[in-house]
Chain A
């Protein structure tokens, strides 16, 4: 299955891209935390960007989510630092 990934702000700069399509094993329903773990395992700048002490927020299909929330085929998962608007 495919998951659409979006990165924003300092995280976008740290990983050097704003989006990608991530392939995942069919019939799986990974959580946002599972995806983050796999991205971290890429090492280098990815390990740094997703270091455990780096505060991170996530959204699935443009709704804020908990890291435990599960994804299905075609979902858009956005990863970003804590928001600073207003």
Chain B
């Protein structure tokens, strides 16, 4: 199974995750992060969302962060699915599923992957509110999450 999928079609995150361990009895832990579309943001009801991306670069950026996670932790499988195009509230936007023999590597790799995806993969959200459409602004907390990993990675490297 290709580990990365960018799709305009709705998807079932639970089926995607189940497929990660279905054919591999060595898997002892799967950690899923599922990002859902909220009907509320920045104090306003949101009725729809459009996700734009940079075809080609998106897949490359995701492959690179998956390769980085695979080099840092013992993983038995990774599946990333990301919606683009039109979305409605309560639909899944993104799945990051990570399989490993034990939970520690799966938990840490999953968090690393979503933190990096949020700051390095070329996706942009535009939401529809009562007052029309608006682009979602990047969050400082997402940058901070990525920065924490960088610090941790450089600490690990200097100890090696």
Contacts and interface: CB of A to CB of B under 8 A. Distances in A.
Contacts of B69: none
Contact of A78 (B52, B54, B94, B119): B54
A8 B129 CA distance: 21
Contacts of A63: 57, 60
B123 A85 contact: yes
Interface residues of B, number: 28
Interface in B42-58: 51-54, 56-57
A55 B137 CA distance: 10
B117 A85 contact: yes
B54 A62 contact: yes
Give the interface size class of chain A: 10 to 19
Contact of A82 (B35, B56, B126, B138): B138
Contacts of B124: 8-10, 80-81, 83-85
Contacts of A33: none
Interface string A35-71: 0000000000000000000010001001110000000
Interface in A1-59: 6, 8-10, 55, 59
Nearest to B137: A84
Contacts of A82: 119, 137-138
10 contacts: A10-B124, A59-B54, A63-B57, A63-B60, A78-B57, A82-B119, A85-B53, A85-B93, A86-B82, A86-B114
Interface of A: 6, 8-10, 55, 59, 62-64, 78, 80-86
Q: Which 10 A-B pairs have the closest CB atoms?
A: A85-B123, A82-B138, A9-B124, A62-B57, A86-B118, A10-B135, A84-B136, A84-B125, A86-B117, A85-B121
